[in-house]
Structure formats: C-alpha cells, structure tokens
Structure 1
Amino acid sequence: MSHPFIYIRRPAVLALAGLLGPMTAQAAPKTVDDYMAQPRVVADHRIAYGTDPAQVVELFLPTGRGPHPVVILIHSGCYLAKYEGLPQTSGIAGDLARRGYAVWNVVYRKLGESGAGYPGTFLDVATAVDRIRPDAARYGLDPRRVLALGHSAGGHLALWAAARHRIPVTSPLWRSDPLRVRSVVSLSGIGDLERQGRVFAGACGPESIPQIIRLADREAAYADTSPAALLPTGVRVTMISGDLDHVMPLPTGRAYVARFGAAGDVGQAVAIPGASHFDVVIPTTPAWKVVAATVATEFARMR
C-alpha cells in the first residue's frame, strides 16, 4: 500500500489561498506570541458539558437553518492550562463558520487544573464530542457529517476522538456508542505518543505526555490513549505540517501516515513550505487557507 505525501510548493499555496495581486515578500513564520495574541471572536453559543469551568464548548454557526456539517475543533497548548485554548482558536472557528460549517470548539481540563490528566482530560473530550448528538436538532447540526480538527496536543486528541470505538471495553475511557467521526485533519498532531513523545517533549517539556496519560503508575498507558495503539480505525486522516515546524517536525506526520497506512487505514501527509507550528492556526495566513481547503475536500468526500 502506498502512503500519500503531498508537498505544496509555494506558488500552489498562494493559489490555494486565493491570493491575488502582485507578489510580496514572504511573511515571517508565526510564533507562539502571535498565536496567543489573536483577538477573540465571540461564539454564537456557549454550552457546558460538565460542572467544571473548563468543561465547555463554544459553538459557531453558519447562516441558514442547517443541518450543518460539524467541525470538532480541539485546541493545542502542550496540555497545559497556561495556554488557554478557546480565545486562540476562536478566529479559525469564526472563519470556518463563514465557510458554512458549524464549529464545535472544545475546551478540556488541562494540566494545572483539578481533574486533568487520565482519565479526566480524555473523558472531557469524549463527553464534549458525544454531546453533539443530543444537541443536533436544537442547533441545526448534522451528526452524520463530522470532522475533527486539532492542533498539536489537540491534534492528538482529535485523532483519539475518532478512534474511540477501538478502545478496549476494560478501559475507563470506553463508551458503548461514541459519536462517529468520519475524517480527521491533524495539524502538527501527535499520532504515536510512545514513539513521538520525545519529539513533542523538546518544545513542551518531558512531563506533559507522561502526566496526561499517567504513564508512571499505569500499565499499558498507551493502549487507550495513543491513536497508534487503536489502529485501524477506518477513519480517513490528513496530517498537515509546516516545513518550519519545530514542535512536531514534518517527518512525524509522514511517519504516522506510514503507520496507519500499514494498518489498512487511508489518508495523507501534507507539507506547507514556509509555515511554522502556528501558521496553520492563524486565519490570516496562507497556511490556514490550505487547512480550510483540506477541510472542504474532506467534507465533499462525505456526500
């Protein structure tokens, strides 16, 4: 089986982004400060799925009655509370809503907050995702057309959310009827916690993954938390990376595509030249336009 890898050359990025007029000098890659400083876009609804202040979803809706295809958006931040989440992803959530999608922007308990780690953080994501079904009629959502979009740590959680039907029944994370996620777009995400954890640790510190899965005091801690351990899932996956990404470098996305391809799943790795770890989640960048176009392509496959 082949493992598709797409490298989008700079002119193609510009064309895909719909940029017109004379070419200007390429903008400097975006930094974590650029990411954190983004202005917040106000959501249409704020929905609590638990009692903790971190257990909320912000819902961004397109115009029209629906039912609308749903993007589950899961933020990054090394699983650490200091990086917030909803304010920084509200810009791309608003952009996706203008493109015709309902955006289910999930926040979850992060390290530094009570109840975070295993199983709390994972149960937060699971509960937030499954909440789409009972709320579908109220908000005009289509639970049959659902795509998960996550960045970095959120890219791991998006892949994991789509693989929950493969979790062993003996796990505290098992649920009998998880919402079906039909496609995942993982932006610099971690597909293989065991093999790629050291790479992630270079930017996020050596304890983030061990603490979030309680590696020190759980046998087989990867078995129900690492997407690689839950293959095959039957879910189409696109791994997108900037070729200047220092957190999860380009080869990590390619390696995970090879891993799930060998297990029988289908997907691709996409590289964006000149893009950093943060360009892919800032709505004013050419890299984000590539992400949005990928989302559109994946929804078109669902019809």
Structure 2
Amino acid sequence: MWNITPWAFSAGIVLATLCGNGNAVGQTLAPTHRDVAYDDQDPSQKLDLYLAKSETPTPAMMFFHGGGWRAGSKDHVPNWLLRAVQQGQMSVIAVEYRFTDVAVHPAQVNDCIRAVQYVRENAEQWNIDPERIGATGGSAGGHLSLWVALHDDQADPSSDDPVKRQSSRVACAVGFAGPTDWSLLNELPHDHPAYRQLLGYEPGTPAEKMDPERKRSVSPISYVSADDPPVLMVHGDSDVIVPIEHSKRLLERLKAVGVPAELAVIEGGNHGVAGASDSVSVRASEFVREHLAEPAVTR
C-alpha cells in the first residue's frame, strides 16, 4: 500500500499508491454522547463524543467534516478514527458547524475554535487529556483543521465565558485534501463554487475581484509561524477540486519556519482522498499516535 522512499520522507513528502476506495465513512460505532451543544447561536452548533474506555485521560481528535462548507454531516466519521476509539487509544469529537447558507466566513472557523475550547473546558468530565487534542478532516474539513491548527491561540483570559478562556491550540493536525491558500485562485483553475460561496461571493466571481484581505483571512497558510504544531497533509496528485499545489505550498511554508510537516502524496488519487478511507489513512494513524502518545510539549 505504501511506497515510501527515504529521500521523499526526509523531504517531508511521502509517496503512496491508492489501493481501492475502502470505506471512506463507514460508521460502525455509536456516539457516547450525541448532539452536545457547544454554543447557542445556531442549532447546528453541536458535537458528538466518541469516548474511549480508559482508566487514565485519553488523547482526543477533533473531526471536522467536509462538504464545501455548506453540506455534509458530523455523522460520518472515518474508520481510522473510530478504530482508535474502539481500541482505547483516543477519543474522537465530531463537530457540526454553521454552513454558508446560514453565515459565511469566519463563522465556520469560529465554530471550530469554539468547539476545541468547549472540549478543553469539559475535558475532565469526559476523561480527555486537554494537552493532547488534535484536529483532522477532509476537503472543507481539512481546511478547517489546518486553519485551527495554524491560527494564533484564541483564548481570552479576561472573558466572563469560561469556554472562551480556554486555549484553542491543538497538538497536531491532519488535513486530507484541504485547501490552504486562496491566492491560488488567481493562478490555477478553481471551478468549484464553494471557494467563493465561503466568502460570500457568487459562483463564477473572478478571483481578481475578490477582496485580497478576505482571501488572506480564510487561508490557513496566512497564519504559519514557528510555534505551530506538527502537520500532516494527505493529498491526491490528480485532485482537480483542490489542486495539490495547496498542500505543496503549505508544506514549503511550514518547513521554512521549522514546523514539523509532511505531505503524503497519493499517486493517482483524486478528491476522493478527502474521505480519509482506510487506503489513504495509514500514515495519518501513525502520525497521530506519534504526536498524541505523550503530553504535548510547548514549542
């Protein structure tokens, strides 16, 4: 399944061959707690908790689903995450967020930030280690995971809301085929309407007529800094929905500032890679175990 060459790994790039579609979103485990509200601005702001059975606090991964920021569901959690729950390795929190027909950017990233803070505020009652929380997702969820991971901490120590006082930082992130840089809309074809709808523009709006600051704000690459957590990106080299240049450019930026980063390139993979099926998630499982096995160390 994995064709890993030493030179590629040392450069932060893993080459892999796509072997079948696998079960992209096979749901084999019921949530321990369903539809827990993490905010009260909109009915969509809920999360499902898949809690691992453990005598000690477990690591946890936040799962942000895909669907063009206007569709999809937290109900569909990839098998590689559910297996980790069943094996007692970590807990998983599947997050629903506001779609663009309700509110445009930054509503989606704000919801994901809030969800991380909410989990950290309630970590003790859910037997979760607040220092070992990661983020993952595919397509739109990949974008959201990377945005959360790379953005500065949103904790507000002076807030009257105890949730807002919590850190929004994560210990690692895995993005499957997620867009990272809206400036690429000026350089490469991006025909899918979701890129523009996320920012409140009509489909087909020329990239040069979109506000540069809005494109900067929505792009995870804009927030890269040396204190960012380790990042893994998984991307198909035949993806025409989210060109692989998004991941390549982010990898280059992360490595330039010394952040541990990898890109697993799925040879022949299209945007179906975003589903995080068994055939493309092997390195993701290893990566999460490596970076959440022990309490996070502040870099």
Name the TM-score, length of structure 2 as normaliser: 0.76
Residue 83 of structure 2 corresponds to residue 95 of structure 1: yes
1:292 deviates by 1.9
1:230 deviates by 1.4
| Alignment correspondent of 1:256 | 250
1:262 deviates by 2.4
| Alignment correspondent of 1:23 | none
| Alignment correspondent of 1:151 | 138
| Alignment correspondent of 2:30 | 42
Q: Deviations over 1:186-213 (max 9, x none)?
A: 111122233358768334545233329x
1:278 deviates by 2.5
Deviates further, 69-78 or 97-106: 97-106
CA distance in 1, matches of 2:61, 2:270: 23
Amino-acid identity (%): 23
Q: Which runs of 5+ in 2 are unaligned?
A: 1-7, 157-163, 202-206
Q: Deviations over 1:116-141 (max 9, x none)?
A: 21342222111111001221111100
| Alignment correspondent of 1:17 | none
Q: Which of 213, 233, 239 in structure 2 is aligned with 1:220?
A: 213
Q: Which of 66, 70, 87 in structure 2 is aligned with 1:80?
A: 70
CA contact (8 A) 2:181 2:220 kept: yes
| Alignment correspondent of 1:118 | 105
Deviates further, 194-203 or 236-245: 194-203
CA distance in 1, matches of 2:111, 2:195: 23
| Alignment correspondent of 1:246 | 240
1:156 deviates by 1.3
Q: 1:56 to 1:140 in 2, by over 3 A?
A: same
CA distance in 1, matches of 2:30, 2:187: 36
CA contact (8 A) 1:57 1:106 kept: yes
Q: Which runs of 5+ in 1 are unaligned?
A: 14-25, 170-174
| Alignment correspondent of 1:209 | 198
The letter of the residue matching 1:42 is: A
| Alignment correspondent of 1:133 | 120
CA distance in 1, matches of 2:117, 2:194: 31
Give the RMSD, CA atoms, in angstroms.
3.3
1:229 deviates by 1.6
1:71 deviates by 0.6
Greater helix content: 1
CA contact (8 A) 2:192 2:241 kept: yes
